[in-house]
Amino acid sequence: MTYFGAIADDLTGATDLAGLMARAGVAVSLRIGVPEDLPEHGSAIEVIALKSRTEPVQSALAETKAALRWLQAAGTQRYFWKYCSTFDSTAEGNIGPVAEMLMAEIGADQTIYCPAFPENGRSVFMGNLFVGQQPLSESPMQHHPLTPMTDSNLMRLLEPQVTRKVGLLDRLQVAQGPEVVTEGLAALEAQGVAHVIVDAVANNDLYSIAEACRHMPLLTGGSALAMALPHLYMGDGSLETSDTRRQFPATCARGVVLSGSCSAMTNRQVAEYLAQGRPCYKVDPLELAQNGPSEILDWLSRQDLDQMPLVYATARPDSVKAAQELLGVAEAGAMVEQVLATCATVARDLGARRIVVAGGETSGAVTKALGADQLDVGPEIAPGVPWCFCKSDGHQMALTLKSGNFGAAGFFSDAIKKLDSQ
């Protein structure tokens, strides 16, 4: 029976959340898209990954409602709406509209919004989101090609997206512990506040918030808020305690790294990997549009997959903008995603059994091409980025699906070392 069900607006966000919850030793199942049938033996924690972050609002609402119906049929009692720790959204949504729909469907009068992830440098103070020491609007997220974030104040970002009142539970209250958080939420509800931004600058804040809010039917936020929940649910008997170290399938060392993200951190990660002298191929969207993918695929077919070659479209913001102006934003992105997804299947057919993917949209395209609709969540490489395991065309595969901004500069090498050590 499923106790906790999460819906994520992109795939890397879903793996992020699943990896953090799996730290507690409980079985976590990650579904890519809404399954057609109910599981015969559902996991205690089920995570459904959608691709709704940048979809039109009505499409995002329809997909999320379908995921909710599946979780309800599986017996879910607690729900979580997961979005990016940088609150990626547009003026129309989709964070607020989806949350308000879920509240109505579940019967929740109030919910919280807490995208903070201190381990990855995301904090919320007085309702303002920071990336490291920079306000969100001054961070590289201001240049995001799909959801440029030009305001750091979460209340101002959320208010146009919802119909009910927005309020703030600030750090001065959160720092006093779960009881004060509970009292603060009750006071806001009495004022008619349905949507509460909650400050958090350290893991202790998240634990206080989780303890105070764990019985709410719906929580929303980044993955770090959910990290403490399995232990709390095991403590009150809602989830079974598990001390058993999970065993995961072994895979051969042949593989490939595919990077479609253009975030500042992924640019650093690509540069670090290139500095190691690894074989690499840089995808130029303009050349790809003119000549097609044959040269890229020919290059890949000649590589020693034991060296984990890198195929990347990662570039600086000015280069990305130039390609988008000539090809169109959606067209440029879709073209790159498709060629990297094709690289994944070609590499698999050449014997690759490990694939490292950087970028949420790229991750979705790759898993779709591989036919992977369910992943078993394995060991973490970096906070919020685990190895996952699946079958593709009858082959046992290990995948890691990295959100653009996550991981240290040496992430690609760290991923390989982590799997070798298991």
pLDDT score recorded for residue 243: 47
Residue 386: other Cβ atoms inside 10 A:
29
Map tokens 């593989």 to a residue. Answer: 255
Phi–psi pair at 385, nearest 5 degrees = -130, 95
Q: Is the pLDDT of residue 418 over 50?
A: yes
Ordered domains of the chain (ranges, CATH)? 4-235 (3.40.50.10840), 255-421 (3.40.980.20)
Return the pLDDT at 246. Answer: 60
pLDDT tens-place string over residues 221-261: 999 999 989 999 999 988 886 544 566 778 889 999 999 99
Which of 34-43, 178-187, 333-342 shows the lowest mean pLDDT across its residues? 34-43
**For 117, how many CA atoms within 13 A lie in the half-sphere containing its CB?**
26
Checking if the pLDDT of 191 tops 60, the result is: yes
CA angle (35, 393, 361) in 5-degree steps: 55
Mean pLDDT over each residue of the chain, to the nearest integer: 92
- pLDDT value for 250: 81
Cα–Cα distance for residue pair 363/402, rounded to 1 Å = 8
Q: Of the given ranges (145-149, 208-212, 240-244), which has the lowest mean pLDDT? A: 240-244
SS3 347: helix
Specify the 3-state DSSP secondary structure of 391. Answer: strand
* 316-358 pLDDT per residue, tens: 877 888 778 877 877 888 899 999 999 999 999 999 999 999 9
CA 342 to chain centre: 22
Q: How many CA atoms lie within 13 A of 352 on its CB side?
A: 26
Counting Cα atoms < 13 Å in the Cβ hemisphere of 270 gives 26
